[in-house]
Amino acid sequence: MIFALDAFAAFIARLRTLLGAPSLTALAASDRIYESSQHVVRLFYFLLPFLVFGFANNSPNRLNFEPWWANAWIEWIGLEFSDAFNIMRAACITLAIAGVFIHRYRAGRILICMMLWQIHAFESSFGSINHQWYPWLYVSFAFIFLPGFRHTESVEYRRQFLLYLWTGQAIVAGVYSLAGLHKLVYAYLQAQEGLIHAFHPWGFSYQVADWIPKLQQEAILSSFVVEHPFVVAPFYMVFVVIQFFSWWIMVRPSLQQAWACVFILFHMGTRFTMGIEFPQWMILVTILFLPSPFVNSASIRELWEDLPTTVFSRALLNRPRTAPKQ
């Protein structure tokens, strides 16, 4: 087990180096950064019970229930659906509350990860994959490998802690980047066939008009988006590009807070335009990136210098980066 942890840590550390990310060894020497990283992880486990309460308040319909293999125990035991859900609800609430205290121990973090695995599988057993819980599941898995929460001066211990926090952030940013890549690929394929696509002036309006009847939920801005496609299209096009480059914030952490604000606003926008809610995503982005320990105060000019468009254009023109003012 120790060998597997060391091998995984070495792989992530090498990946960071290849991507040119800031040195974790240098960051680990800072008491402020190490303490801030602990606060971020604690916040993850402190807010989790509130999300689990939301899951427990659901009233699922047995008629559509086709359990994933992770929930196969429900059929093996032969419980009635309502009894199984009540048992699962009670166990998850208890474990989520206990997680506020036991997350300091690896065994506790493993139990919390297994709880999220069960919740995600259950929510995905009604005909479609649930897209709310899997980022929490993936991040909780990364946090299993945290070395602990000791107050120590050991730079290597601190570096390990920062490494797995960075891994949790990278998972979330990577999922957003893959979603952006998906939009870009489909936009290209649709454009090749002469169809309306994401970068067409009517692209976003077509999406809204398509989703509203399917979801049968009210969205206060849906009519405005459909009736004024040219007003909202530029914002959506820019968003798709930002989403594709989400992983860039893992090697340019000065952009993390600005990126988080963009996606919090985006998820609010999907609620107002399509009626689609992403509360779990919004909370997770807020927890991991707004108080991120990897962010240093930067001027607008320095943020501009870290944008991927600026970095790539500078590389093409072979121009050095402007040195920040001392």
254, 305 contact by CB (below 8 A): no
Is 323 part of any domain? no
Share of the chain above pLDDT 70, in %: 91
Residue 113 CB contacts under 8 Å (≥ 6 apart), including other chains: 137, 140, 141, 143, 144
pLDDT, position 5: 54
Identify the domain containing residue 230 by its residue range: 2-295
Q: Is residue 307 part of a domain?
A: no
Tens digit of each residue's pLDDT (9 = 90 or more) over 49-80:
999 999 888 877 776 788 888 888 887 887 78
The answer to whether residue 144 sits within a structural domain is yes
Over residues 277-303, mean pLDDT: 89
Confidence of residue 3 (pLDDT cuts 50, 70, 90): low
pLDDT at 22: 76
Q: Residue 208: how many CB atoms within 10 A of its CB?
A: 23
Is 143 a domain residue? Answer: yes
Would residue 310 count as lying in a domain? no
**317 belongs to a structural domain:** no
Of 50-59, 170-179, 280-289, give the lowest mean pLDDT range.
Answer: 50-59
Q: In which band, very low, low, confident or very high, does the pLDDT at 44 lie, cut at 50, 70 and 90?
A: very high
Q: From CA 140, how far away is CA 163, in angstroms rounded?
A: 14
Confidence bin at 9 (pLDDT 50/70/90): low
What radius of gyration do the chain's Cα atoms show?
A: 22
Among the listed residues 249, 279, 119, 86, the one whose alpha carbon sits nearest the alpha carbon of residue 173: 249
Please choose, from the candidates 197, 201, 243, the residue with its C-alpha nearest in 3D space to the C-alpha of residue 226.
201
- The CA-based diameter of the chain, rounded to the nearest angstrom, is 69
Residue 71 falls inside a structural domain: yes
Give the whole-angstrom CA distance, residue 154 versus residue 156. Answer: 5
Looking at the predicted structure, is the pLDDT value of residue 48 above 70? yes
Q: What is the pLDDT of residue 19?
A: 66
CA separation for the pair 50, 198 (Å, rounded): 35
- Number of structural domains found in the chain: 1
Residue type, 41: V
* pLDDT recorded at residue 325: 46
Encode pLDDT of 111-155 as tens digits.
Answer: 999 999 999 998 888 878 888 999 999 999 999 999 999 888 899
pLDDT at 138: 95
Closest by CA position to 303, among listed 265, 266, 252, 261? 252
Packing angle of the helix pair 134-144, 155-192 (nearest 10 deg): 150
Residue 30: CB atoms within 10 Å:
14
In a domain, 156, yes or no: yes
What's the chain's average pLDDT? Answer: 87
Contact (Cβ atoms closer than 8 angstroms) between residue 229 and residue 196: no
DSSP calls for 181-237: HHHHHHHHHHHHTT---TTSTTHHHHHHHHHHHHHT---TTHHHHHH-HHHHHHHHH
